[in-house]
Amino acid sequence: MRDQVEGSHAIARAVVRCRPQVVCAYPISPQTHIVEALAAAVRTGELAPCEFVNVESEFAALSVAIGASAAGSRAYTATSSQGLLFMAEALYNAAGLGLPIVMTVANRALGAPINIWNDHSDSMSQRDSGWVQLYAASNQHAADLHLLAFRLAEELSVPVMVCVDGFVLTHAFEAVDLPDAARVDRFLPAFRPRQVLDPEHPVSIGAMVGPDAFTEVRYLAHTTALRATDRIPALAAELASVLGRPVPAPLHPYRLAGAETVVVALGSVLGTVQDTVDELRQGGRKVGALGLTAFRPFPAAALRQALTGATRVVVLERAFTPGVGGIVTADLRAALADLDVSARTVVAGLGGRAVTRDSLRRVLTAAHEDALAPLTFLDLRRDLVASAERGA
Amino acid sequence: MAYPDVRQTADRTAGNRLLPLRQRAVQADPDRPGTLASGHRACQGCGEALGARWVLDAAMRATGGRLVTVNATGCLEVFTTPYPETAWRVAWLHSLFGNAPAVASGVAAALRAQGRTDIRVVGQGGDGGTVDIGFGTLSGMFERDDDVLYVCYDNEAYMNTGVQRSGATPPAARTSTTPALGPAPGNPFGQGKDVPRIAMAHEVPYVATATVADPRDLERKVFRAMAFRGARYLHVLVPCPLGWGAAPHDTIHLARLAVQTGLFPLFEAEAGEVVAVTRLPGPKVPVAEYLRRQRRYAHLFAEPPRTDVIAAVQAIADRNIARYGLEVVPDA
Amino acid sequence: MFQVRIHGRGGQGVVTAAELLSVAAFLDGRHAQAFPSFGSERTGAPVEAYCRISPRPIRLREPVRRPDAVILQDPSLRKHLDVFAGLAPGGYVLINSQRDWRGLDLDAFADRLTPDRTVIVPATQLALVHTGRPLPNAALLGGFAALTGLISLSAVVVAIRRRFPDPVAEGNVAAARAAYRQVQASLSVGTGLAVDGRERAHA
């Protein structure tokens, strides 16, 4: 049923359709509306059987999800920014234990300085945790990706985070088609855990593994991630046929045919990028866009294939590594290693600064003319940094 | 399972052949669950291994084996699960250091959602994981009244990592981070947390203290705890020969002395009120008798002896005796 | 695509106004996108919210810098912010106030405002009369429908009823209808021109 709803609400409805048995979360802007909606759904019985646990911290939130998942229940939580970091230990724990928890990360900048607005520094900081990371370009995409996430997680026994731009998507009202229960149940069967805490068949989960076997256990995490690379497109296609609409994953290509310059971007900024691409194409510039829906595992082979014809790539980053530059750029360069494609990094929209068509048009035009520096901080206010740099 | 108040020959043994079978400890039963199997890697004389075996066997007996255990990082987890072996004969999950209560809450929530409230949950950890790093999640579990029995095996320091001070380390005790140096050697006075009383402040259904000196008392308290639903807390004193600097064969004796001095009061509380205490079996034992057997207090007995510190420790024991009413009732 | 920017202060329902506007447009069969500028959520602080309406799916997500319409829920803001920044020539302006053009000193902005597309409606007062609360957003939506013809009054009414429980909903509906009538009346009195409901494409 198609309706004009807030992004958070759409995500909550998608999660309700996925029938988690345990929902546990700690409030942090801008994730709050999602868990509030789920609390209401549990109270009214719309989501049942389900235990909604009001936890005392984000660390507790993921911990409760870990216990629930290990005990054989589908578990869900959501967080942002500082909360994601506060549960960082548990992130690695969940991935290492192969628990198919799904978590929404309402992307928000990491402090200091404290900032409640959108960028990708939070999820990017946990890119090595072993969690699958999917990035939504719109609220429809966000809702659909949660369905994909639960299915993928349980099939491979790996946790999945669905990254949704905080405020920009979570607090935006737009039309979303919310699938009915029958459709979702067709795509997402009941959870059958690979191993479970069961008094009838007791096992010890979480043993101490020494140097003699640790490498092998970790290697298996790597192969699981590689399997996810294969399964994501297949599951996305299956979901698309169930829903009757495209579910772009792992890639979200736009006007790549004949594109010399391609903008690679993650998340909601892709929409603005697409509008800018249309403008530039109208002006005769062969520009295209490639959204990455899957960032972890990094879809290297698919990316290579998509960018083989391009001359240059502009990677639009919503986070960066101080002293180094782009994060996505590094993975992209590795994937395109022996192709004759140059890459430029544009760090944009940090801490919620708007990424505007005007600014994108400028940098893309410059890039297209090979006049863009390797690393640009979009719309940097030089007046603000000048005095600090003078003093340095 | 009610134990009569017996005082008789061999009442210190688990078996006590003078009692009817049904009144003996679970440990006396050849068909006991054996939840913590032998072959684990604990030190000789480890109080925690002893306590965990007794607690889990009693819990398994109380629940007919329908039990799931969540274990914090620490000695117990490390010496029981060296991959590819495990000593546990119960569904068991190692959480992290600071979140065993929360993970246990999650297990309980899942079982509830699955309609399997017949399966009970025990969370367990050492004093470090309970009193310090796990304190926030413990309080959360208490506050929500989650249906978990949490057991703290208190050996009064971070033993797994080399005997560092914890919030449960008693005053004057030497640890690797509270060395016996300077004018106030060992752990400072005026610090530390009394988690049983903090648990009581949360008004959870049941709180109890116990030691490895009295298996029947410990088992009875586990059974009592399992008769309640909601958040329950059991604090068990488990001497650590290595960390306390004591002889491995003194583990049980030291636990008994801790009780008999009044330093470790035995009591039960329900909904925030003390409902039962175990009075001292005889005149209180001076704390020096307890302290002198542990090298972590050796600096108090050097030349010149720190009688002032010993007196301060005695004051703590005396306060406990007064607070909980532990005095022996003189014969009328 | 038609872009609307709404200015107000925290606590005045600015964000809700944008959301309801988008719902009304959706009900009228269009694509719509609404989102707030993400300032502090403290009461009294300046807040902006945006709404885009289009016959085609909307992909753009930057804040609205070149609005085709500005709704000013709290005119006191015009002294602190450039509330009309980027307003398209011939753009619509709807101001919540009991004062008139002179009383609001709108001559100072005359070079940017189009008189027959600038309407003032006492939305707060209408809200007080019909709901007992000084929240002008629903009333302003009724006024906006009349001013631009971009959304139908009936869609506004449905959007209000879906959002608020009774009896608040009916009070807001009454306020919206009252504002609609007032704006209609002031437009026809002012210029004799009927409101043009055609879609305005803005570069």
Question: ipTM surpassing 0.85, yes or no?
Answer: yes
Distance from CA of A64 to the nearest CA of B (A): 4
Closest CA to B99 of A104, A78, A67, A82: A67
Packing angle, helices A300-307 and A328-335, rounded to 10: 70
B202-B206-B207-B211 Cα dihedral, nearest 10 degrees: -160
Contact A13, A42 (CB under 8 A): no
pLDDT tens for the 392 residues of chain A, in order = 999 999 999 999 999 999 999 999 999 999 999 999 999 999 999 999 999 999 999 999 999 999 999 999 999 999 999 999 999 999 999 999 999 999 999 999 999 999 999 999 999 999 999 999 999 999 999 999 999 999 999 999 999 999 999 999 999 999 999 989 999 999 999 999 999 999 999 999 999 999 999 999 999 999 999 999 999 999 999 999 999 999 999 999 999 999 999 999 999 999 999 999 999 999 999 999 999 999 999 999 999 999 999 999 999 999 999 999 999 999 999 999 989 999 999 999 999 999 999 999 999 999 999 999 999 999 999 998 998 888 76
Q: Return residues 134-153 of B near A (CB < 8 Å).
A: 136-137, 139-140, 143-144, 146
B130-B135-B136-B142 Cα dihedral, nearest 10 degrees: 70
Average pLDDT, consecutive stretches of 10 residues, N- to C-terminus, chain B (332 residues): 51 68 84 94 96 98 98 96 95 97 98 98 97 97 98 96 95 96 93 97 98 94 98 98 97 97 98 97 95 98 96 98 90 56
Interchain contact A168–C (C-beta under 8 A): yes
d(Cα A12, Cα A38) in Å, to the nearest integer?
6
Chain A hits for C15, CB-CB cut-off 8 Å, are 171
Interchain contact A269–C (C-beta under 8 A): yes
Contact B119, A197 (CB under 8 A): no
d(Cα B265, Cα C21) in Å, to the nearest integer?
67
Q: Return residues 259-278 of B near A (CB < 8 Å).
A: none
Burial class of residue A223 in the structure, from the number of CB atoms within 10 Å of its CB (0-12 exposed, 13-18 middle, 19+ buried): exposed
pTM for this predicted structure: 0.93
B206-B208-B212-B216 Cα dihedral, nearest 10 degrees: -60
Distance from CA of A115 to the nearest CA of C (A): 11
> Residue C192: its pLDDT value, please?
33
Contact between chains at C63 and A117 (C-beta distance less than 8 A): no
d(Cα A84, Cα A61) in Å, to the nearest integer?
10
d(Cα C107, Cα B147) in Å, to the nearest integer?
69
Numbered residues of chain A with Cβ closer than 8 Å to any chain B Cβ: 21-22, 24, 49-51, 53-57, 59-60, 63-73, 75, 89-90, 93, 197-199, 201-210, 213
Q: Convert A264-276 to b/e letters by CB count within 10 Å (16 or more is b).
A: bbbbbbbbbbbbb
- Give ∠ CA A194-A195-A197 in degrees, rounded to 5: 145
> Residue B14: its pLDDT value, please?
65
pLDDT tens for the 203 residues of chain C, in order = 999 999 999 999 999 999 999 999 999 999 999 999 876 567 788 999 999 999 999 999 999 999 999 999 999 999 999 999 999 999 999 999 999 999 999 999 999 999 999 999 999 999 999 999 999 999 999 999 999 999 999 999 999 999 999 889 999 999 999 999 999 998 887 643 333 333 333 32
Burial class of residue B281 in the structure, from the number of CB atoms within 10 Å of its CB (0-12 exposed, 13-18 middle, 19+ buried): exposed
Query: How far apart, in Å, do the first and last CA atoms of chain C sit?
Result: 9
DSSP-assigned letter for residue B300 = G
Touching chains B and C? (3+ Cβ pairs < 8 A): no
> Residue A273: its pLDDT value, please?
98
DSSP letters along A177-203, please? EPPPHHHHHHHS-----SS---TTS--
How many other β-carbons are positioned within 10 Å of the β-carbon of residue B198? 16
Which residue bears the tokens 């004799």?
C192
Centroid of chain to Cα B201: 19
Chain C hits for A118, CB-CB cut-off 8 Å, are 38
> Residue B24: its pLDDT value, please?
82
Question: Least CA distance to B144: which residue of chain A?
Answer: A54
Contact between chains at A56 and B139 (C-beta distance less than 8 A): yes
Centroid of chain to Cα B25: 18
| Token code pair at residue B25 | 């400890």
Contact B47, B240 (CB under 8 A): yes
Centroid of chain to Cα B233: 10
Question: Least CA distance to A55: which residue of chain B?
Answer: B140
d(Cα B29, Cα B196) in Å, to the nearest integer?
30
Contact A15, A146 (CB under 8 A): yes
Chain A hits for B112, CB-CB cut-off 8 Å, are 51
Contact between chains at A173 and C19 (C-beta distance less than 8 A): yes
**pLDDT tens-digit readout, B8-46:** 555 566 667 777 777 788 998 888 999 999 999 999 999
B149-154 β-sheet, strand order: A204-205, B91-94, B67-71, B120-126, B149-154, B232-237, B206-211, B267-270, B273-277
Contact A86, A60 (CB under 8 A): no
d(Cα B309, Cα B170) in Å, to the nearest integer?
12
| Rg, C-alpha atoms of chain A | 21
d(Cα B173, Cα B154) in Å, to the nearest integer?
14
Query: Where are the extended beta strands (E) located within C15-140?
Result: 31-36, 46-54, 69-72, 92-96, 118-121
> Residue B175: its pLDDT value, please?
95
